[in-house]
């Protein structure tokens, strides 16, 4: 069985590694082009490309998979099965029809919930307690294909989007390993999705990254950890972007408000100390634990507050 693998970020690497370790014939890898990254904007290969080259696999990086040239290059691999995991482009009909065993996808949510490009981050931002991975046959619609199997993975308060990417990528790899024999035999189940139950998780925008201080403490907490370590939540301080990488909800947040804090608007700094920076929200407060002023590196919030002499009453946002 000739397998062509399509994937791009770290999330996809465990599935590719599993295929090789289990002795499957991976005939090639398709991934996104190298992109500028970091302050110096250096051209950087995606993690799947780096891993594939280490293993001596041929790599294809079309800017657009929908061009006739790219489809022809994919066909040259003569795949029996295409396995995708967070590839980052929608497969055209010509590619979907190409392999005799079809195209399957490792998706980071419990479909039909969170269809789209940012299911993991949005699950955390929305305060979900459970998410998971779905192994599915691909169709022309956005994550609409028939499901083969799903596995649930809890989200704890200690999780960030980053830790969930790690957990779900490993769970997806294991799910793929478990079901590949039946997929190869053509006996894997095909369970249609209930479209009426579908929700969507589009890619995050700049607006999604902004901390809304009028929200509840829980909403602020979930947003910050759902954006870590990708973009970070941001607010404004002294007219400049001020990123928040970590925060926590103090115990009894909504019941420990002092009378002198009642008149302060959401986003107001309430107090600072060795614990960090306590900020008012719509229903209580959160404690910022890691922040990043404009043009600086991230640092503990307590260290920043001490150096910046951040006074109570300062308004963020």
**Residues with Cβ < 8 Å from 21, sequence gap 6 or more?**
none
Q: Do 304 and 229 sit in the same domain of this protein?
A: yes
Q: Are residues 146 and 31 in the same domain?
A: yes
pLDDT at 38: 78
- 178 and 82 both lie in a single domain: yes
Of 103, 178, 184, 175, residue with least CA distance to 146: 103
Whether residue 169 is annotated as binding a ligand: the answer is no
Q: What is the DSSP string of 119-167?
A: HHHHHHHTT-SEEEEEEEE--SSTT-SPEEEEEEEE--TT--HHHHHHH
Res 23: pLDDT = 97
Residue with tokens 């790899």: 173
Can you name the residues that pair with 290 across neighbouring β-strands? 246, 300
The answer to whether residues 71 and 131 belong to one domain is: yes
Residue 261 has pLDDT above 90, yes or no: no
One domain, residues 58 and 140 = yes
pLDDT of residue 177: 98
Residue 269 · residue 277 · CB < 8 Å: yes
**Of the candidates 197, 77, 70, 66, the residue with the CA atom closest to the CA atom of residue 143:** 197
173 is in an annotated binding site: no
Q: Which residue has better confidence, 251 or 97?
A: 97
Residues 20 and 117 both lie in one domain: yes
Burial of 25 (0-12, 13-18, 19+ CB in 10 A): exposed
pLDDT digit string, tens, across residues 187-216? 999 999 999 999 999 999 999 999 999 999
| Alpha-carbon Rg for the chain in angstroms | 23
Q: How sure is the predictor about 253, in pLDDT bands with cuts at 50, 70 and 90?
A: low
Residues 171 and 232 in one domain: no
One domain, residues 229 and 149: no
Indicate whether 254 pLDDT > 90. Answer: no
111 is in an annotated binding site: yes
160: tokens are 């960030």
Q: Are 182 and 149 in contact (CB under 8 A)?
A: no
Using CA atoms, how far apart are residues 86 and 11, in angstroms rounded to an integer? 7
Assess whether 18 and 112 both reside in one domain.
Answer: yes
Strands 81-85 and 276-280: unpaired
Contact predicate 71/93, CB 8 Å: no
Question: Would you say residue 107 has pLDDT above 70?
Answer: yes
Give the per-residue pLDDT at 31: 98
Looking at the structure of the chain, the number of domains it has is 2
Known binder of ligand: residue 109?
Answer: yes
pLDDT above 90 covers what percent of the chain?
Answer: 88
Mean pLDDT of 133-155: 96
Domain boundary among 174, 197, 220: 197
The answer to whether the beta carbons of residues 200 and 111 sit under 8 Å apart is no
The reply to whether 13 and 95 lie within a common domain is: yes
Pair 110, 241 in one domain? no
| CATH code: domain of residue 30 | 3.40.50.170
Which residue, 197, 227, 248, sits at the end of a domain?
197
Domain C-terminal end among 133, 164, 197 = 197
Q: What is the pLDDT of residue 255?
A: 64
Tell me what the mean pLDDT of segment 117-138 comes to: 97
Predicted confidence at residue 40, as pLDDT, reads 81
174: containing domain: 2-197
* CATH number where 258 lies: 3.10.25.10
**Length of the chain in terms of residues written:** 317
- Quick: pLDDT tens for 25-84: 999 999 999 999 877 889 999 999 999 999 999 999 999 999 999 999 999 999 999 999
Give 251's pLDDT tier (boundaries 50, 70, 90).
confident
Shared domain for 142 and 221, answered yes or no, is no
């Amino acid at each position: 069985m000739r397998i062509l693998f399509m994937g791009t970020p770290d999330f996809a690497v465990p599935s590719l590694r599993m295929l090789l370790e289990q002795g499957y014939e991976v005939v090639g890898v398709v991934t996104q082009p190298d992109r500028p990254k970091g302050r110096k904007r250096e051209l950087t290969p995606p993690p799947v490309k780096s891993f594939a080259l280490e293993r001596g696999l041929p790599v294809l990086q079309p800017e657009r998979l929908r061009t006739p040239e790219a489809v022809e290059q994919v066909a040259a691999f003569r795949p029996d099965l295409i396995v995708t995991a967070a590839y980052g482009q929608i497969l055209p009909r010509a590619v979907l029809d190409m392999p005799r065993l079809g195209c399957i996808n490792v998706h980071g949510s419990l479909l039909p919930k969170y269809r789209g490009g940012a299911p993991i981050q949005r699950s955390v931002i929305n305060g979900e307690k459970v998410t998971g991975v779905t192994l599915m046959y691909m169709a022309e619609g956005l994550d609409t294909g028939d499901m083969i199997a799903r596995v649930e993975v809890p989200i704890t308060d200690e999780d960030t989007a980053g830790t969930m990417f790690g957990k779900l990528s490993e769970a997806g790899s294991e799910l793929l390993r478990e079901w590949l024999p039946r997929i190869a035999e053509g006996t894997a189940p095909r369970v249609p999705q209930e479209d009426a139950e579908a929700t969507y998780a589009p890619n995050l925008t700049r607006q999604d990254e902004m901390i809304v201080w009028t929200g509840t403490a829980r909403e602020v907490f979930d947003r910050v950890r759902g954006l870590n370590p990708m973009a970070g939540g941001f607010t404004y301080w002294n007219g400049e972007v001020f990123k928040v990488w970590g925060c926590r909800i103090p115990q009894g947040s909504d019941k420990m408000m002092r009378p002198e804090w009642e008149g302060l608007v959401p986003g107001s700094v309430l107090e600072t100390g060795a614990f960090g920076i306590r900020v008012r929200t719509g229903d209580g407060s959160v404690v910022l634990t890691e922040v990043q002023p404009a043009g600086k590196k991230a640092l503990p919030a307590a260290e920043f507050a001490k150096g910046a002499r951040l006074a109570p009453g300062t308004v963020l946002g």
